[in-house]
A = this chain, B = another copy of it.
């Protein structure tokens, strides 16, 4: 159970970012959709094919300059079983290209259901004498509302296959405080701080080769004060940081997540990279080139704040 492979990729690329693959149909260039619809009709299969081609182009454009991608599974589920096939192909192809893959699926349940989810994205399933990998991701996001019973099955699968999970702690959205900021009497801390401290506890059995456990925390770039206090509270917990860019978080806002070696988290950007061609107003045929340029721009902006990234 660790994020070791992710951390090694971050150091190698000198880039603490992760590209979100959230392929809303309206984000996909028209020429890709036209080709997919010509072949499969305006069907779920056609849409899923467009999603896959779009993702492939994005992966080819960034695989050597970013450490990780994070497909958000909702955009695939909404295209039914064909969408799930596109999700599988995307995860598999990103892995083949050497990327670390975080399945953003925020799963949560207890017992054998939680074990089923962990198996689906991080493990292997036994069918008779054979073993299969349903979706070959390296890490996944989970929701800890159900407590330890809802996390242990994920941790067990992570231990077996050296994978990681990111638990929702302080999310980037405006209303996240309705529950997460409530102060708990007994603990004299906020709900998100309790959740953070549970992450530290759940991750305690990790090997921590580089000082970080395999149980990370999702902490929004839109809440810089909370990033700072959580980093102090949770010295071994790696952060997945959404909310940079489109949602308003800046590189300065999230700097506190990182230690003097430039390690401590990974910053997500989805729409800014996927739709860079729209912002640049370049030809949509150059969407992959625009994504590459935006990924480089983001890396430079982050590194300027964080500095050189070193294992030690």
Report which A residues bind B (CB closer than 8 A): 22, 24-25, 37, 42-44, 46-47, 72, 74-75, 77-81, 83-85, 88, 104, 106-117, 119-121, 125, 127-130, 132, 134-135, 143-150, 168, 171-180, 182-187, 191, 194-195, 198
Contacts and interface: CB of A to CB of B under 8 A. Distances in A.
A73 to B, nearest CB: 9
11 contacts: A72-B109, A75-B113, A81-B88, A106-B143, A144-B179, A147-B180, A149-B173, A149-B176, A178-B198, A179-B198, A182-B187
A146 B175 contact: yes
Nearest to A178: B147
A194 B174 contact: no
B185 A120 contact: no
Contact of A37 (B44, B128, B135, B182): B128
A183 to B, nearest CB: 5
Nearest to A24: B112
Given A42-B128, A134-B80, A185-B183, A74 B176 contact: no
Contacts of A72: 109, 113, 116
